[in-house]
């Protein structure tokens, strides 16, 4: 997993509430076990019509937001099934940060494991950033994970909370496999000792 770096970019406003994981990446795209290639189908039912043509009114199809790296969303983002493909699709599209008042727990944890930063803020703070995001590509929101601050276009600074261990993992690019590999010497030592004790195993 890549190390999380500070983000300063366009934020896409998605004020819908209860954006679930099937909206993020529909079930028909869950056959793959690869983390890449899902970005093209992110929000598939909202981005494309029945013929596969882009729906112009959808925010990520609009010129100002095609390269958005941040989503400012309504309540309860990532609810629904526990598919890890949802953060895979977001990351593959280029989304690095999601701001909302609340997230489904499994989705929230899956984001950290896949290099996406979910930020919980109050409704008032989200409203400020939503208004900023609606200004389009001339408005840029900056996120500093180390300092745990978000800066709006006008310089307004908003602090956010994040678990210290999850923060450490994001900043250092540590997913579950990477964390396990940090213990590889201890694991190798145990396996060697266990083999000597139980040569029949």
pLDDT score recorded for residue 139: 83
For the chain, how many structural domains are there in total?
Answer: 1
Distance CA 15, CA 112 (A): 22
CATH of the domain at 57: 3.20.19.10
pLDDT score recorded for residue 53: 97
Burial of 115 (0-12, 13-18, 19+ CB in 10 A): buried
User: Three-state SS for 106?
Assistant: helix
The answer to whether residue 184 sits within a structural domain is no
The answer to whether residue 185 sits within a structural domain is no
Residue 24: closest CA among 109, 111, 101: 111
Distance CA 91, CA 98 (A): 11
Q: Could you tell me which residues come within 8 angstroms of residue 197 by beta carbon, excluding any fewer than 6 positions away? A: none
| C-alpha pair distances (Å), 89 with each of 20, 127, 146, 185, 199 | 13, 25, 25, 34, 46
The answer to whether residue 2 sits within a structural domain is no
Residues in the chain: 201
The answer to whether residue 164 sits within a structural domain is yes
Mean pLDDT (10-residue bins), the chain, 201 residues:
92 97 94 86 96 96 96 97 94 98 97 97 97 89 97 94 96 78 66 76 65
Burial 25-58 (b: 16+ CB within 10 A, else e): bbeebbeeeebeebeebbbbebbbeeeeeeeeeb
HSE toward the beta carbon, residue 200, CA cutoff 13 A = 0
Q: What is the pTM for the complete model shown?
A: 0.89
Residues paired with 11 in a beta bridge: 70
Q: What is the extent of the structural domain holding 62?
A: 7-174
The answer to whether residue 191 sits within a structural domain is no
The answer to whether residue 41 sits within a structural domain is yes
DSSP state of 104: -
pLDDT score recorded for residue 177: 67
The answer to whether residue 188 sits within a structural domain is no
The owner of tokens 């989705």 is 107
The answer to whether residue 80 sits within a structural domain is yes
Query: Is residue 47 a contact partner of residue 55, using CB atoms and an 8 Å limit?
Result: yes
pLDDT score recorded for residue 189: 66
């Amino acid at each position: 997993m890549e190390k999380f770096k500070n983000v300063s970019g366009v934020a896409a406003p998605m004020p819908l509430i209860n954006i679930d994981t099937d909206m993020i990446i529909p079930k028909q795209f869950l056959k793959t076990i690869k983390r890449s290639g899902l970005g093209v189908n992110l929000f598939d039912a909202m981005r494309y019509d029945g013929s596969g043509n882009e729906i112009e009114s959808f925010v990520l199809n609009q010129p100002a937001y095609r390269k958005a790296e941040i989503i400012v969303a309504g309540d309860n983002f990532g609810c629904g099934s526990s598919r890890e493909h949802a953060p895979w699709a977001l990351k593959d599209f280029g989304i690095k940060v999601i701001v909302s008042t609340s997230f489904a727990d499994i989705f929230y944890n899956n984001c950290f494991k896949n290099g996406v930063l979910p930020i919980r803020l109050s409704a008032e703070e989200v409203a400020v950033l939503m208004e900023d995001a609606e200004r389009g590509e001339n408005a840029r929101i900056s996120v500093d994970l180390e300092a745990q601050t978000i800066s709006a276009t006008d310089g307004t600074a908003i602090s956010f909370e994040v678990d210290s261990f999850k923060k450490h993992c994001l900043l250092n690019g540590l997913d579950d496999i990477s964390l396990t590999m940090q213990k590889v010497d201890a694991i190798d030592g145990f396996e060697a000792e266990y083999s000597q004790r139980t040569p029949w195993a």
